[in-house]
Structures are given as structure tokens and as C-alpha cells.
């Protein structure tokens, strides 16, 4: 309501009067004036007004169990496109609250709330590209946290029919996953209630909230707070909005814990599995052990539940509506029947990672051109013309409390394997500078630092398939594993980081993924066991112990991994594992149809999934002759 130049907003017992542009408003609750504070309210406060975000005000009437987020400046309130946000009791569920959006005006389309580096550079451009190639392209917006990831996603999405809009995603690791719809105190900020913490999160993510309110379909890629955005969309549009959630298949944790417990082993363990368990042991913990070590180091899982990655994943899945869709990212995606349960449909998908469109020979030539910029002598490294083996090493975006121990181990292995050339990729800026200095001092001639190879990444992985004496060594992250498998290359994993860091403390992010990292190695073992049954007598190499004290053991594993017979046996086992374009097309088709027509019936989504993701039921035969098998593998991938 306007009174001359003044503008007044009212909501229940809350009244906000904007008198002049650039001045703070006058606020009353039940007729009592409130001053604007910069710190959380004192215990027992019945109402308060708190500065929120860069230009917002959180006003809470606790006696009425209502709160609202409004602009701080009167000039903004006159713009009808500036939304207002409200939380109030949910009449459908006692003890919970709902989030509502008013004055929403944005273009409809698909909203993708992204998370980690691999998702923003893999799934985001892939799903966007698949959507853009449909007969009726859908507008696509992605929320991405890091600016460099957003820039990379835009580059990879360039040249498509519709542009990729990116909005920032802001959140605090210390408060992640703590905001639930329960109308109780927030675990991370006890001075605030969840309904108030939800509005503060919106204040930090205003652009994301505005776009989400008009989204016709939402994809939640691992962010627990996305339920807030989904409620905004459903209230603003007054209809059911399709929700898709991406998560990992954590059903494997129960099996892993039984495996890790000596008293639970009824029969002797296979040699390969026993070695994996020993090398991964520092990263394997039961939930009780995880909570105990976190508390010892001053981290309370109740105030930061995201550090228990498994529990956070299950809670996210439980919050997906029955008509929503779950995308499980699983190493053993061929055997997804165990994940089918209840009334919600699921889509089992391989780990994220885009396959190169080039043949191995074409990729070898293109990768050689990139290498020639470092040294002309490397131009033919990936081709049979160069007799040297090739070992591509990556630590992804470099986050690891043990990253330099991993790099140091690989440098030590390089000194013992002069017959192979090592290519070091990825790593953070500090580690790359440290590596360059160490390499200059050691004068190793069989190591080349590539840094970030960005758009050439899938090319380098595909180029490894041009000859059999190659391998790919990586930290056990799903994006690295997925990229390798998608390009027909078996990954050799570095040891998972231990839960307790070098200084004896637990880092929250390390704790969050500690058990997840260990699972990948065992999943690869199960994949090989399914597709290559005869390898049990001679275990295929899966994990090189880069954190162990025995260099000889790691050296033996690495030499075995570049053995042509072993390498080709592994390539045959994973052949056909991932058809990236087929998976992306499936996801885009379902998302696009739901964005136009609303939530599809479960039976329809399951039928589409089963048609699109049908895979080979029989493993390929093992290679007899490495050279002839290399030729067969090349011809298949063309």
C-alpha cells in the first residue's frame, strides 16, 4: 500500500513502512516498534528485525510463528519484480513450516542446482546440451558456487541453440544441511529457528530463489537446501513442480562395513580384496566411529550433519516427493535392480564424465599437438611410434589434506620407471608451484606438468586407448572415475585420504567424503568380478597405495597396471560401461517433458528409463593377444 511517497507492507501483525528511498524502514510487530539488529536475537525474544544478506531484512514474529524477508531499501520495494518471501506454519503438517514467494516474475525453464566441481563441468553442460538439442528447447539455468566452475560450464555449453544462464550459489560449509522444514531451533544457529534460517539462506541466494520460483522443473544435485527452492516454485505457480534429485547409491556402505569388520568374515577374502581393504582402511569408519572422532576434534555432527555424507544422502532421498525422480550415481549401474523400491522412480546412471567424440588415434594426434607445446619430443607419445609407456596422473581440483604426499609418491615412482613418461594434470595452484620446484631440483626427464587441461581432458583420456602400455592414476573421486570409464580407460586409484589429517585433526570436508571415497575402489572390484570372472586368481590392479610406507609395493602395482595384457583385460571388462549421450538424452527427455506437461506418471518414467538404459547382459571375452585386442578395441570405439 502507498501513502504519497511512502510504501507500507503488512503481513499478519508485521508492518513495514518505507518512508524515503535510501533510508531504513520503520518496523512494528503487534504495534510495537523494532530496531534493525546486526546480530541474532537474545534468548526469549518474541520478535526481532535482523539485517539479512547484502540488502535484505529478516523480520520474525515468533508469537505468530511467522517470518518474512523484505528489501532494506524503499526504492526496491516499488519495483513489482522484486519478490517477497514468507515462512509460516504448514497447515498440511503439524510442527513444520512452509516457504512462500510473492511477486515473482521470471521466465519459466529448468533449474539445475549444482554442487561439486565434477557436476558443474560434467553434468550441467551435458544436460543443457541435451535439452538444447530437443525439438522444443527448454531455457536452462544452473546455480554454481565457484566462479571458475561457472566459467568452465559456460565454455563447454557454448554453441548450443539456447544459452546457459548461471546464477551464484552461496552456502556455508559449517551450516550445510542443517535447515529442515521442522519448526524448531536450527542446529547450526541455535539462536534462530529453522523458518528464520531458511529466509537467511534465501537472502544469500536471492537470484537463485527468484529464478527457482518460476522453474517448471528442478534438478537437485546434492544440495540439501533445495527443498526451500522447490517449495517456492510450487507456491508461486500453485501447482506440483517436478523435482529430480541426484545422489549416490549408498546401499553399498552396509556391505563395506561388514567387509571391514574381521569378525564378520565367514570365509577367507580374495587376495585383491584383502589388499584393497588394507590400503583403504584409514578411510573406512562406522557411523559411530565417525561421530566419535568428529566430536574429539570439536565437530558436532548434529550442528553440521553434512559431515556424515551417508546420512545426509539418505535424508535428501527421503525428502524427495513420491512422484519425484532419483538419479543414482553408481559404479555398479549395470546391477541397479536393488535400488528399485517404494513408489518413487529412479534412474541408475554411471558416474559423471563425458566421452570424447574422437577415436583413440584421433585423440592421440590431438593430445600430441597439445604436448608438443611443452616439448616437441612428446608429440607422438600416445602413438605406437613412441615405445614409452604413458602414465596420466590427476588429483582433480586438488582438494586433499594429503595431496602433496600423493604427488611425492608419484614422483618417487617416476624415478623408478624411466621406461614410462608421467603426465601430471590437475591440482591446485599451490601444489602445481610446489611440483614445478621439486621437478626442477630432481631434474627428472620423464615427467611433464600439464596443469589444468580443461577442454582437452576427455581427449587425453581417450588417447590412452591408442596403445596398451598406458594407465590413468587418479584420486578416488566419482568425476575422475566416471571420465575414465566413459572413455574406455580403467582408472587406477590413489589411496583414499585418511579421516584424520596430517595434524591429527579432522577436516569437515574430508569427513564428509571419507567413507564415500573408500567405496569407489570396492565398487570397481565388483565391476571387474562381474565382467571378468577369471581375474580372481590374478587380481586386476585397482588401487596404488600412494600413502603407504612401502614404495616397492606401489611400484609393483603400477608396473602391473601398464602391462599390456593386464591393461587390455581391464579395458575389455569396462567396455560399453557408459554411453554418455544416451544417459544425457534420457535425463533431458524426462526433464523437458515434465517441464512442459508436469510430473509424468511413474510407469511412464520407468518405461523410458528401461528402454534408454538397456545394457549388455554378457561380458566381453578376455583378450588372447594384446596386439590384436588393441586393434579390436580401437575399431569398436570409432
Contact between residue 542 and residue 528 where contact means Cβ atoms under 8 Å apart: yes
Confidence band for 265, pLDDT divided at 50, 70 and 90: low
Report d(CA 283, CA 444) in Å as an integer: 32
**Taking 80 as the threshold, does the pLDDT of residue 417 lie above it?**
yes
In angstroms, rounded to a whole number, what is the distance separating the alpha carbons of residues 358 and 128?
21
DSSP states of 53-67 as a string?
TTTEEEEEETTTTEE
Mean pLDDT of the chain: 83
Q: Measured between alpha carbons, how far is 226 from 217 in angstroms, rounded to an integer?
A: 12
User: Using an 8 Å Cβ cutoff, are 512 and 306 in contact?
Assistant: yes
What integer is the mean pLDDT of 465-476?
A: 94
Q: Give yes or no for residue 176 having a pLDDT over 90.
A: no
Q: Is residue 52 over pLDDT 50?
A: yes
CA dist list (Å): 91 to 87, 96, 516, 525 = 12, 8, 38, 50
Q: Is residue 521 part of a domain?
A: no
Radius of gyration of the chain (CA): 27
What's the rounded Cα separation, in Å, for the pair 326 and 299? 30
Residue 487, in any domain of the structure: yes
Q: What is the pLDDT of residue 338?
A: 57
| DSSP per-residue letters across 42-95 | PTT-SEEEEEETTTEEEEEETTTTEEEEEESSHHHHT-TTS-EEEEEE-TTSTT
Cβ of 606: how many Cβ atoms within 10 Å? 16
| Cα 62 to Cα 13: distance, rounded to the nearest angstrom | 11
Are the beta carbons of 382 and 463 closer than 8 angstroms? Answer: yes
Q: Would you say residue 550 has pLDDT above 80?
A: yes
Lowest mean pLDDT among 174-183, 212-221, 289-298, 509-518: 509-518
Q: How far apart are CA 1 and CA 416, in angstroms?
A: 78
Question: In the predicted model, what is the mean pLDDT of residues 257-272?
Answer: 71
Is there a contact between 27 and 34 (Cβ–Cβ < 8 Å)? yes
What are phi and psi for residue 154, nearest 5 degrees? -65, -40
Q: Residue 431 pLDDT > 50, yes or no? A: yes
- Report for 15-19, 152-156, 267-271, 601-605: range of highest mean pLDDT: 15-19
Number of alpha carbons in the 13 Å side-chain half-sphere of residue 349 = 29
Of the pLDDT bands very low, low, confident and very high (cuts 50, 70, 90), residue 629 is very low
Is 255 within a domain? no
3-state DSSP helix/strand/coil % of the chain, to nearest 5: 45, 20, 40
Mean pLDDT value of segment 174-202: 91
Query: What is the average pLDDT across 494-503?
Result: 80
Q: Which pTM does this prediction carry?
A: 0.84
CA dihedral defined by 66, 71, 74, 76, rounded to 10 degrees?
A: -130
**Grid coordinates standing for 252?**
553399498
> Residue 44: which domain range?
2-82
pLDDT tens digit string along 436-446? Answer: 999 999 889 99
- With cell 546480530, the residue in question is 39
**Domain annotation covers residue 368:** yes
Provide the pLDDT for residue 616.
Answer: 42
- Residue 216 scores a pLDDT above 70: yes
Please say if the pLDDT value at position 336 is more than 70.
Answer: no
Residue at a domain's end among 82, 111, 145: 82
pLDDT tens-digit readout, 75-131: 777 776 788 999 999 999 999 999 999 988 778 889 999 876 566 767 787 788 878
The more confident residue out of 586 and 183 is: 183
* CA dihedral over 170, 175, 177, 181, signed as positive or negative: negative
Give the lowest-confidence range in 9-13, 148-152, 347-351: 347-351
Check: CB of residue 473 under 8 Å from CB of residue 494: yes
pLDDT value at residue 630: 31
Query: Residue written as cell 576434534?
Result: 297
Contact present, 66 and 88 (Cβ < 8 Å): yes
Instruction: Give the residue carrying C-alpha cell 597396471.
Output: 561
- Report yes or no on 387 lying in a domain: yes
Residue 65 backbone phi and psi in degrees, to 5: 60, 40
Q: Which of 50, 82, 114 is the last residue of a domain?
A: 82
Residue 623 has a pLDDT of 36
Q: Pick from 328-342, 514-528, 594-608 the range whose average pLDDT is largest.
A: 594-608
Beta strands across the sheet bearing 32-34: 2-3, 6-11, 14-18, 26-29, 32-34
* Residue 341 binned pLDDT confidence (cut-offs 50, 70, 90): low
Q: pLDDT at residue 620 above 60? A: no
Burial group, residue 552, by CB count within 10 angstroms (0-12, 13-18, 19+): exposed
Give the end of a domain, one of 61, 82, 103: 82
- Number of folded domains that form the chain: 2
Across the range 543-549, mean pLDDT stands at: 90
Structural domain contains residue 428: yes
Residue 133: all three cell numbers together: 538439442
Q: How far is CA 183 from CA 65, 67, 102, in A?
A: 9, 12, 21
Which CATH number fits the domain that encloses residue 429? 3.40.50.2000
DSSP state of 506: B
pLDDT of 502 strictly over 90: no
Domain-embedded: residue 248: no
Rounded to the nearest 10 degrees, the angle between the axes of helix 508-531 and helix 287-296 is: 150
Span 377-395, pLDDT tens digits = 999 999 999 999 999 999 8
DSSP 32: E
Q: How confident is the model at residue 492 (pLDDT cuts 50, 70, 90)?
A: very high
pLDDT at residue 633 is higher than 50: no
Distance between CA atoms of 92 and 96, rounded to whole angstroms? 9
Mean pLDDT along residues 360-376:
96
Cα 448 from chain centre: 29
Asked if the model's pLDDT at residue 28 lies above 50, the reply is yes
Choose between 580 and 114: higher pLDDT.
114
Residue-level pLDDT at 634: 27
pLDDT of residue 496: 84
Report how far residue 82's alpha carbon sits from residue 93's, in angstroms, rounded to the nearest whole number: 29
State how far the alpha carbon of 179 is from the alpha carbons of 245, 289, 453, in Å: 17, 25, 38
Q: What gap in Å lies between CA 546 and CA 403, rounded to an integer? A: 10
Is the backbone of residue 156 left (phi > 0), alpha (psi -120 to 50) or beta? alpha
**Residue 26 lies inside a defined structural domain of this protein:** yes
Q: Could you tell me the end-to-end alpha-carbon distance of the chain, in angstroms, rounded to an integer? A: 67
* Beta pairing class for 26-29 and 14-18: antiparallel
Question: Which residues are CB-contacts of 330 (< 8 A; sequence separation ≥ 6)?
Answer: 248, 249, 336, 339, 348, 349, 350, 351, 523
Q: Are strands 470-474 and 447-451 parallel, antiparallel or unpaired?
A: unpaired
Report the candidate in 27, 81, 76, 34 with the shortest Cα–Cα distance to residue 54. Answer: 76
Phi, psi of 133 (to 5 degrees): -90, -5
C-alpha span between 586 and 103 (Å, rounded): 34
Amino acid at each position: 500500500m502507498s501513502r504519497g511517497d511512502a510504501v507500507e507492507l503488512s503481513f499478519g501483525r508485521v508492518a513495514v513502512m518505507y518512508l524515503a528511498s535510501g533510508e531504513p524502514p520503520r518496523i512494528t510487530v503487534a504495534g510495537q516498534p523494532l530496531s534493525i539488529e546486526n546480530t541474532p536475537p537474545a534468548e526469549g525474544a518474541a520478535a526481532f528485525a535482523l539485517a539479512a544478506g547484502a540488502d535484505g531484512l529478516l523480520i520474525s514474529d515468533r508469537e505468530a510463528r511467522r517470518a518474512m524477508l523484505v528489501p532494506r531499501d524503499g526504492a526496491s520495494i516499488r519495483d513489482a519484480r522484486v519478490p517477497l518471501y514468507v515462512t509460516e506454519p504448514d497447515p498440511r503438517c503439524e510442527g513444520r513450516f512452509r516457504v512462500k514467494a510473492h511477486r515473482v516474475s521470471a521466465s519459466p525453464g529448468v533449474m539445475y542446482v549444482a554442487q561439486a566441481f565434477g557436476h558443474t563441468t560434467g553434468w550441467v553442460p551435458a544436460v543443457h546440451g541435451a535439452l538444447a538439442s530437443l525439438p522444443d528447447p527448454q531455457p536452462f539455468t544452473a546455480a554454481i558456487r565457484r566462479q571458475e566452475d561457472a566459467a568452465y560450464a559456460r565454455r563447454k555449453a557454448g554453441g548450443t541453440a539456447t544459452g546457459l544462464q548461471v546464477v551464484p550459489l552461496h552456502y556455508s560449509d559449517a551450516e550445510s544441511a542443517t535447515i529442515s522444514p521442522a519448526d524448531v531451533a536450527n542446529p547450526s544457529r541455535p539462536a534462530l529457528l529453522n523458518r528464520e534460517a531458511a529466509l537467511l539462506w534465501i537472502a544469500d541466494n536471492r537470484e537463485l530463489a527468484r529464478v527457482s520460483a518460476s522453474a517448471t522443473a528442478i534438478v537437485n544435485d546434492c544440495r540439501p537446501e533445495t527443498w526451500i527452492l522447490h517449495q517456492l516454485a510450487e507456491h508461486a505457480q500453485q501447482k506440483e513442480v517436478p523435482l529430480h534429485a541426484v545422489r549416490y547409491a549408498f546401499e553399498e556402505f552396509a556391505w563395506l562395513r561388514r567387509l571391514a569388520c574381521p569378525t564378520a568374515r565367514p570365509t577367507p577374502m580374495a587376495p585383491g580384496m584383502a589388499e584393497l581393504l588394507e590400503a583403504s582402511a584409514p578411510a573406512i569408519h562406522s557411523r559411530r566411529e565417525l561421530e566419535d572422532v568428529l566430536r574429539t576434534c570439536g565437530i558436532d555432527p548434529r550442528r553440521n550433519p553434512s559431515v556424515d555424507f551417508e546420512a545426509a544422502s539418505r535424508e535428501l532421498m527421503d525428502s524427495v516427493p513420491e512422484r519425484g525422480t532419483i538419479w543414482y550415481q553408481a559404479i555398479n549401474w549395470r546391477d541397479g535392480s536393488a535400488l528399485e523400491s517404494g513408489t518413487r522412480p529412479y534412474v541408475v546412471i554411471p558416474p559423471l564424465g563425458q566421452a570424447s567424440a574422437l577415436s583413440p588415434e584421433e585423440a592421440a594426434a590431438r593430445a600430441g599437438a597439445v604436448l608438443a607445446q611443452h616439448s616437441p619430443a612428446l608429440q607422438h607419445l600416445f602413438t605406437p611410434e613412441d615405445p614409452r609407456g604413458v602414465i596420466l596422473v590427476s588429483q582433480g581440483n586438488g582438494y586433499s589434506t594429503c595431496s602433496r604426499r600423493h604427488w611425492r609418491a608419484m614422483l618417487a615412482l617416476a624415478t623408478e620407471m624411466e621406461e614410462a613418461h608421467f603426465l601430471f594434470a590437475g591440482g591446485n595452484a599451490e601444489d602445481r608451484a610446489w611440483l614445478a620446484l621439486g621437478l626442477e631440483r630432481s631434474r627428472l626427464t620423464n615427467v611433464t606438468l600439464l596443469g589444468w587441461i580443461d577442454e582437452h581432458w576427455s581427449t587425453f583420456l581417450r588417447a590412452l586407448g591408442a596403445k596398451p602400455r598406458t594407465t590413468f592414476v587418479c584420486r578416488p573421486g566419482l568425476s575422475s572415475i566416471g571420465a575414465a570409464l566413459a572413455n574406455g580407460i580403467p582408472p587406477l586409484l590413489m589411496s583414499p585420504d585418511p579421516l584424520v589429517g596430517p595434524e591429527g585433526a579432522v577436516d569437515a570436508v574430508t569427513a564428509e567424503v571419507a567413507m564415500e571415497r573408500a567405496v569407489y575402489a570396492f565398487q570397481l572390484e565388483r565391476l571387474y568380478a562381474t565382467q571378468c570372472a577369471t581375474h580372481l586368481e590374478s587380481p586386476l590392479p585397482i588401487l596404488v597405495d600412494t600413502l603407504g610406507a612401502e614404495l616397492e609395493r606401489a611400484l609393483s602395482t603400477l608396473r602391473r597396471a601398464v602391462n599390456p595384457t593386464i591393461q587390455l583385460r581391464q579395458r575389455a571388462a569396462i567396455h560399453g560401461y557408459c554411453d554418455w549421450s544416451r544417459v544425457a538424452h534420457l535425463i533431458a527427455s524426462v526433464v523437458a517433458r515434465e517441464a512442459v506437461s508436469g510430473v509424468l506418471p511413474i510407469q511412464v518414467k520407468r518405461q523410458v528409463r528401461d528402454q534408454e538404459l538397456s545394457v549388455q547382459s554378457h561380458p566381453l571375452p578376455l583378450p588372447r593377444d594384446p596386439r590384436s585386442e588393441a586393434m579390436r578395441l580401437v575399431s569398436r570405439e570409432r
